């Protein structure tokens, strides 16, 4: 598999889209296109537009009783957050966001269900 994290995230997003009627706030969720290889020109443009290293892969900008939003970082296998990701995740949590690192779609789905049902 060349892009196992992408496969996990795509399966998760497919579930989200199929369940927007049950959980309408999922219509606000979006992926953050921070990863991947880009040309130097594209990378420079994205940086000038405000792209930052370490931002998690997926965001649900809806508050619940416990958090101001939900972020998910997808990792394949035993992958761990990079130093930039760990720093960004720490800041998000400091400001009231829930952030989870998921290595499979099922875990991410359960986290979203729990978040939306609080």
pLDDT reported for residue 8: 96
pLDDT reported for residue 34: 78
pLDDT reported for residue 1: 55
Rounded Cα gap, residues 92 and 99, in angstroms: 7
pLDDT reported for residue 67: 98
State yes or no: pLDDT of 2 exceeds 70. no
The residue extents of the domains of the chain are: 4-116
Q: Residue 51, class by beta-carbon neighbours within 10 Å (0-12 exposed, 13-18 middle, 19+ buried)?
A: middle
pLDDT reported for residue 46: 86
Q: Can you read off the two tokens belonging to residue 71? A: 């972020």
Rounded Cα gap, residues 118 and 11, in angstroms: 24
- How is domain 4-116 classified at the architecture level of CATH? 3-Layer(aba) Sandwich (3.40)
Q: Over the stretch 60-117, which tens digit does the pLDDT of each residue have?
A: 999 999 999 999 999 998 899 999 999 999 999 999 999 999 999 999 999 999 999 9
96 SS3 class: coil
CA atoms within 13 A on the CB side of 31: 15
DSSP letter for each residue of 28-57: G-EE----S---HHHHHHHHHHT--TT--S
Predicted TM-score (pTM) above 0.85: yes
């Amino acid at each position: 598999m060349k892009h196992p994290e992408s496969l996990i995230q795509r399966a998760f997003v497919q579930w989200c889209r199929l369940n927007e009627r049950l959980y309408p706030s999922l219509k606000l969720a979006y992926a953050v296109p921070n990863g991947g290889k880009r040309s130097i020109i594209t990378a420079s443009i994205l940086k000038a537009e405000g792209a930052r290293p370490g931002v998690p892969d997926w965001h649900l900008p809806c508050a619940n009783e416990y958090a101001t939003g939900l972020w998910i970082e997808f990792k394949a296998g035993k992958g761990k957050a990079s130093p930039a990701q760990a720093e960004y995740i720490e800041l998000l949590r400091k400001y009231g966001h829930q952030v989870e690192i998921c290595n499979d779609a099922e875990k991410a789905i359960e986290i979203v269900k729990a978040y939306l049902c609080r």
